Amino acid sequence: MTNALDDIKLNNDQIAWRAAQDIEDGAYVNLGIGFPERVAQYTVKGRTPVFHTENGVLNFGPAPAEGEEDWDLINAGKKAITLKSGAAFFHHADSFAMVRGGHLDVAILGAFQIAQNGDLANWSTGKGGIPAVGGAMDLVQSAKRVAVLTDHVTKHGDPKLVERCTMPLTGVGCVTRIYSSLAVVDIADGHFWLREKVPGISFDDLQAVTGAELKTEGDVLDLIVSGEGAPV
């Protein structure tokens, strides 16, 4: 099953592109370190979201050219960034007042597991090692909308969308939309609601790699990545 999925699933850039289509003009957005950061590259033309980073910058832009880095100007991933006009600096308590006070419109994070009640596990595998949480627990409990980008299954082919998380939780009942490598799934009323799926997979095959019931209401749309600026 896993090998067949590899041929039809979206790559990380395509998942990021799909998530970017839902970011509205003027939205205040926090993108998690790593894969979710790519969403910024696919901002829809004509929309100007404002990106927030935990270490105290609003309205930052892409990385500078190599050699142009200023290491006082970094993002939460400790990578060098640039500023857009209208940027602002602030200290850490203000930065997290923006998060915890419910001022952020969207937070987009990665995931180990997402449960059908919206619980998210993304900070610790629970198998020992060194725990590191960063700002994830703040973001998921307080942003107006919390979305997740993820492969639909683990490297071993196990479902990441599950009935109940078995890994340590980052937040409870917090995720409302999942952009996976195979589908767009909403979470409401304790259930997964399938909104879109890649055309190469049947409903039954998608259900087979999903760890809890996929409900539907109305049409399930084709998840197609195309158009100007879309990644291949």
Residue 71 within binding range of another protein, rule CB under 8 A:
yes
Residues 112-171 that bind another protein (CB under 8 A): 119, 124, 130-138, 141-142, 168-171
Please, which residue, 27 or 137, has the CB nearer to another protein? 137
Residue 43 within binding range of another protein, rule CB under 8 A:
no
Q: Select from 44, 63, 74, 220 the one that contacts another protein (CB under 8 A).
A: 74
Interface with another protein by CB under 8 A: which range of 6-14, 44-52, 69-77, 199-207? 69-77
Please, which residue, 45 or 127, has the CB nearer to another protein? 127
Please, which residue, 96 or 215, has the CB nearer to another protein? 96
- Residue 19 neighbours by CB under 8 Å, 6+ apart: 36, 39, 42, 108, 147, 149, 179
Please, which residue, 43 or 55, has the CB nearer to another protein? 55
**Strand duo 28-31 + 106-109: pairing:** parallel
- Per the annotation, the verdict on 54 as an active-site residue is yes
Closest Cα to residue 144, out of 99, 110, 196? 99
Residue 72 has which token pair?
A: 């006082």
Residue 172 within binding range of another protein, rule CB under 8 A:
yes
Q: Is 158 helix (H, G, I), strand (E, B) or coil?
A: coil
Q: Which amino acid is at 126?
A: G
Residue 70 within binding range of another protein, rule CB under 8 A:
yes
Q: Select from 84, 100, 145, 191 the one that contacts another protein (CB under 8 A).
A: 100
Residue 180: how many CB atoms within 10 A of its CB? 28
Residue 144: how many CB atoms within 10 A of its CB? 13
Phi and psi at 109, nearest 5°, equal -130, 170
Q: Which amino acid is at 110?
A: G
Q: In the complex, what is the shortest distance from the CB of residue 91 to another protein, in angstroms, rounded to a whole number?
A: 4
Residues labelled catalytic: 54
